[in-house]
Amino acid sequence: MSIETSTLGTLVLIAVMTGVTLLTRYGGVFLMSFVRISPRIESFINAMASSVLIAIIVPMAYEGDLGARVALLATAGVILVTRKPLPAIAAGLAAAAACRYLIPGA
């Protein structure tokens, strides 16, 4: 089924996107309210939480250009040494910018 992007149709499409996104924001919490939080479940949740970040970042590095990879490496280096997020992010951006300036098309 397709919806025409008329004024009304676009409103319907935006409403559908909003509903689906809201379902994702609420669904996990709602389902968890039926789960008894055992130490095992808590351990699952904690391992999953930091794994979300890794699962976002690793394919990003894989599909990204050299600049993207250098940015992530620089951020990793600085955060591990200084433990301060803002300098780490700044280093990542600077590394990406420098890499793309020096090696265009890499």
Instruction: Verify binding: residue 37, another protein, rule CB under 8 A.
Output: yes
Residues in 54-93 at the binding interface with another protein, rule: CB under 8 A = 54-64, 67-68, 71-72, 75-76, 79-80, 83, 85-86, 88-89, 92-93
Distance (Å) of CA 6 to CA 1, 11, 53, 75: 15, 8, 38, 45
End-to-end CA distance of the chain: 42
Instruction: Verify binding: residue 36, another protein, rule CB under 8 A.
Output: yes
Closest contact distance (angstroms) between CB of 30 and another protein is: 8
